[in-house]
Amino acid sequence: MQPKQTADAPRVSLLKNISDFHIAGISYRNTDAETRGRFAINEQQYRNLLSTAADFGIEEFFVVSTCNRTEIYGFAPSAAHLAGFLCSQTEGDAGSFHQLSYRKNGRSALEHLFHVSAGLDSQILGDYEIISQIKLAVKTAKENRCTGLFTEKLLDHTLQSSRNIRSRTQLSSGSVSVSFAAAQYIRQHFTETADKKILLLGTGKIGRNTCKNIVSTLGTKDITLINRTNAKAEALARELGIRFQPYECLETEAARADVILVATNAPQPTLLQKHLEHSAASLVIDLSIPNNVEMSIAGYKGICLVNVDELSKVADATLQKRKLEIPKAQQLIQEQINEFKNWYVMRQHVPVIRAVKSTLENIQQKHMQQDSVPLQSDDRIQKVLNNMATQMREKNEGGCNFIWAINDFMASS
């Protein structure tokens, strides 16, 4: 769906004021999984936001909603305005979100995005899955004409920062993620895992990664996949050499499982207490936000129910090594933020630079005509423009630099 367009509201192309760039969000740092679930944004809710943005006076924004956080980034009169817009589609209300959320603008908002994209703000330090989620969020907003020059350039620098951190630090080294933590938790829960029967419900990205971790680390192949879209589960089962069953067999498969993992990312619970009436499962792991396992299952027939917040506490020596890489990652982030700010400053001065270039070309042309010599190369003009650009970055004096460039050109004639 497309946001409402009028003759007076074309796709955003002008560069916005950086101080009007805001973020409002909640994360695992200040909310539990159940609370985050009330403010999670699914695909349909995101489409609704994109189609109604113009009604709220918002032209340029994107939303990142994961098991760790729900955040809205964009240009608005205030972060509170963005938050109210976001909550127009959430189960939770704007008043509660206002009390729980953090809000930033300008450089502070930029720094937050860079830290999030690097995995520095993830529940498991260095979790690299977040960058693909940010990339998809911006791509979806762009397809719906809800991004502009600022957002798209910001994403470019965010992606570059993330790539630099991954290639030049050990922040994301080793196997530590929610998917890996699930496999580790199973290992800690049972003395032996090779003979355990495991049921995985949901084969999206988290489900797929979790399944691969289980196959590679637990030494069991008695894994059954179930998904609402049968073809997806069947394809992954064939790839990994494990079992697949249609969704209609959920209760039957739950009855034979020792461990059940749920990664369905649905708005309501998909694994219910009634599914476990004949089950001998002792461990259920909910990888979804909002929770996709009915809360009454906790303690039912002695079942241990674990969610993503508890999984994040799984200790691993890798995390200690990652913490040592934080200063390097922060330095690389700062470099990319500075590059983005340089681009932003220069973009603001584009009209002045173009006017100077046009003036210098006219001066050069008149000079050549008066002296009756052929028009020469533009190298001298470009050199003056480059010097002017450097001065503008350092001093940010547009009008003064206009005069300086003319004098510099005439002095070099």
Residues designated as active site: 67
d(C-alpha 124, C-alpha 207), whole Å = 17
Three-state SS string across the chain, please?
A: CCCCCECCECCCCCCCCHHHEEEEEEECCCCCHHHHHHCCCCHHHHHHHHHHHHHHCCCCEEEEECCCEEEEEEECCCHHHHHHHHHCCCCCCHHHHHHHCEEEEHHHHHHHHHHHHHCCCCCCCCCCHHHHHHHHHHHHHHHCCCCCHHHHHHHHHHHHHHHHHHHHCCCCCCCCCHHHHHHHHHHHHCCCCCCCCEEEECCCHHHHHHHHHHHHHCCCCCEEEECCCHHHHHHHHHHHCCEECCHHHHHHHHHHCCEEEECCCCCCCCECHHHHCCCCCCEEEECCCCCCECHHHCCHHHCEEECHHHHCCCCCHHHHHHHCCHHHHHHHHHHHHHHHHHHHHHHHCHHHHHHHHHHHHHHHHHHHHHCCCCCCCCHHHHHHHHHHHHHHHHHCCHHHHHHHHHHHHHHCC
The position carrying tokens 């028009």 is 375
All residues at 6 or more sequence positions from 44 whose CB lies less than 8 Å from its CB, including other chains: none
Longest Cα separation, the chain = 99
